[in-house]
């Protein structure tokens, strides 16, 4: 969200959720925010009519899977709600669906979760404050949680190794699969190849390092970010940024206001180490 008047980060998280952020935009935001690709699932329950993404009508419950292209989030009117990042390994246990079945073309949680999403949105519009909104979502996800639906241990292990920067080949060997078998299982579970998942993870490491560098007041840090995130060099980082974000790192930082130390959107707030980001 652009021109955010308020963001609050939840102090406790339901199982499978990596962040939960309450957002409330200014009365006349009129902004456009670039939603970056992520290795996490996005789940938003609005406290109003909903979020406008990629030119679609307002969506009261957003559910998006892993995607490799940036989306456009419009704020033509003031908006409020709670956004969660859900780990793809937890998708079945949280939503009853593998990540591969979650469609990002419409981002419609109502279409994908049916009456559960409709009831959740109705109850969310009736909450009186952030604490009540967080409690509502926490209770819903805890009640829905089914650990029996978690992926097989080899897939979980492979994901963790890729997070640690292992190559696809070494990951496959470590979990006892051929690369082809690992690719088949990843596509079935996540809708992406292990290579794409690893590239998304590296991209997210880079954006987190950029944020930290800006907060630390560093100068000329992109070459260092490239090396620490696992890219061959800064041009490699720039190419990957253009692929995933649609523009170069410096242009993205300028667009988001990060060059001035402003973290005025939900994705940025998720990276602020669990603190109250703006109030």
Q: How many CB atoms lie within 10 A of CB 278?
A: 16
pLDDT at 274 over 50: no
Question: HSE of 202 in the Cβ direction (CA atoms, 13 Å)?
Answer: 25
Quick one: pLDDT at residue 2? Answer: 40
- Residue 238 pLDDT > 90, yes or no? yes
Q: Measured between alpha carbons, how far is residue 173 from residues 89, 195, 199, 202 in Å?
A: 20, 15, 19, 21
* Nearest one of 185, 146, 150 to 168, comparing CA atoms: 185
Check pLDDT > 90 for residue 105.
Answer: no
Q: What is the pLDDT of residues 16-75, one digit of tens each?
A: 999 999 988 765 555 667 778 889 999 999 998 877 766 667 889 989 888 888 876 666
Report which DSSP code applies to 26.
-
pLDDT in tens, 149-200: 999 999 999 999 999 999 999 999 999 999 999 999 999 999 999 999 999 9
Q: Which helix (H) or strand (E) holds 117?
A: helix 115-125
Asked whether the beta carbons of 7 and 269 are under 8 A apart, the reply is yes
Which of 2-11, 119-128, 213-222, 231-240 has the weakest average pLDDT?
A: 2-11
Q: Model pTM?
A: 0.82
3-state DSSP of 169-233 = HHHHHHHCCCHHHHHHHHHHHHCCCHHHHHHHHHHHHHHHHHHHHHHCCCCCCHHHHHHHHCCCC
CA gyration radius, the chain: 19
Beta-sheet strands, E only, within the chain = 4-9, 17-25, 31-35, 41-46, 52-53, 61-64, 71-75, 80-86
- State whether the Cα torsion 18-35-108-52 is positive or negative: positive
Is residue 200 within 8 A of residue 66, CB to CB? The reply is: yes
């Amino acid at each position: 969200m652009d021109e955010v008047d308020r963001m609050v980060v939840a102090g406790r998280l339901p199982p499978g959720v990596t962040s939960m952020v309450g957002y409330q935009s200014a009365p006349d935001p009129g902004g456009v925010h670039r939603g970056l690709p992520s290795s996490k699932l996005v789940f938003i329950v609005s406290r109003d009519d909903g979020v406008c993404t990629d030119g679609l009508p307002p969506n009261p419950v957003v559910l998006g899977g892993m995607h490799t292209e940036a989306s456009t989030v419009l704020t033509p009117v003031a908006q409020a709600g709670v956004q969660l990042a859900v780990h793809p390994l937890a998708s079945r246990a949280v939503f009853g669906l593998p990540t591969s079945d979650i469609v990002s073309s419409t981002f419609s949680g109502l279409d994908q979760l049916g009456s559960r999403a409709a009831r959740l949105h109705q109850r969310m519009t009736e909450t009186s404050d952030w604490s009540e909104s967080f409690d509502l979502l926490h209770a819903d996800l805890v009640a829905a949680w089914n650990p029996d639906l978690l992926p097989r241990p080899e897939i979980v292990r492979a994901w963790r190794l890729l997070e640690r920067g292992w190559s696809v080949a070494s990951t496959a060997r470590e979990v006892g699969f051929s690369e082809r078998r690992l690719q088949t299982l990843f596509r079935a579970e996540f809708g992406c190849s292990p290579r794409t998942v690893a590239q998304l993870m590296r991209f997210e490491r880079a954006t987190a390092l950029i944020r930290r560098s800006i907060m630390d007041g560093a100068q000329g840090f992109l070459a260092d970010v490239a090396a620490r995130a696992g890219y061959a060099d800064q041009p490699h980082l720039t190419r990957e940024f253009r692929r995933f974000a649609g523009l170069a790192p410096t242009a993205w930082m300028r667009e988001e206001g990060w060059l001035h130390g402003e973290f005025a959107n939900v994705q940025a707030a998720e990276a602020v180490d669990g603190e109250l980001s703006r109030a």
